[in-house]
Amino acid sequence: MAKNSDNLLHDVAVELRNQFRPPYTLVINTSVSGAISLALFLGSLALGSINDKLLPFAATVILLWTLSDVFLTNQLVYDRERVIRRLEEGRNVEHLMRVKNITVAIMSIPLCIIFGLVMVAVLGKWSELINGLLLAIALIWGWLGVSNIVAVQLPFKLLPFSEVRHERRTFIRYTLLYCLPWLLLPIYDAILILPLILLHWITGATVSAHMALALVLVAIVSLTIWQIGVRYASRHVTEPTSKIRRLLSEMDG
């Protein structure tokens, strides 16, 4: 009898190795998103549209855009063969979701650091940018939780652009689904940053003056959303009548 291994650390290490093998989907997608985010930040900076006091928040929102990719919000379809295999074997899909999420979080950290160093070189402000980086890392988990929920509620079959562009309704739907992460992420950021605004309103001090407390508050909310997202998605995908389950079965057939 084969041993059913669900060792989190081991499986995350294997997942990380796999991401650096062809077709490099996650590496390419996050790198492209990161380059676009960096260009947006530098462009906004050059135009003088970012206030220095808002720098940590601007850095946080733009850094998180490295993860605003359809690969996350449609992650189960991208990895359908492994998901179906685990479902057929009666294995824990929640474990797979955690492995995938932790892998994304780990891979995003170097991108955040590189992005932050570039901004430091331009602005010369270490403290504010370090605060922004820490805030971004804390917010990553909640965004992964939101992505998990979207992945089971709004899944879609991967089709080449040549097949989609000729049908107007299909083209509009695909365009909306591909752009959905970019639309949801600013809303998520705004909701999670509300506790920081409340903290500023209560104390009258800047967020930087209470950054440790602010980070703890954001981390607690973010991790809670992640836990909810992981458990909801893993339960939903096991339901035979769910959209994601039907789509995965149709694609497998």
Give the mean pLDDT per block of 10 residues along the chain (253 residues). 70 93 84 78 68 62 71 85 89 91 86 70 68 79 93 85 76 84 82 73 66 82 94 92 88 63
What per-residue confidence (pLDDT) applies to 3? Answer: 47
pLDDT the model gives residue 109: 78
Question: For residue 129, what pLDDT is reported?
Answer: 66
In this structure, are residues 94 and 230 in contact, taking their beta carbons and an 8 Å threshold? Answer: yes
Every domain of the chain and the residues it spans: 8-252
Q: What is the pLDDT of residue 145?
A: 94
Cα 74 off chain centre by:
11
Question: What backbone torsions phi and psi does residue 125 show, to the nearest 5 degrees?
Answer: -120, 95
pTM score over 0.75? yes
pLDDT of residue 2: 42
**pLDDT given at position 128:** 63
**Which pLDDT value is given to residue 249?**
86
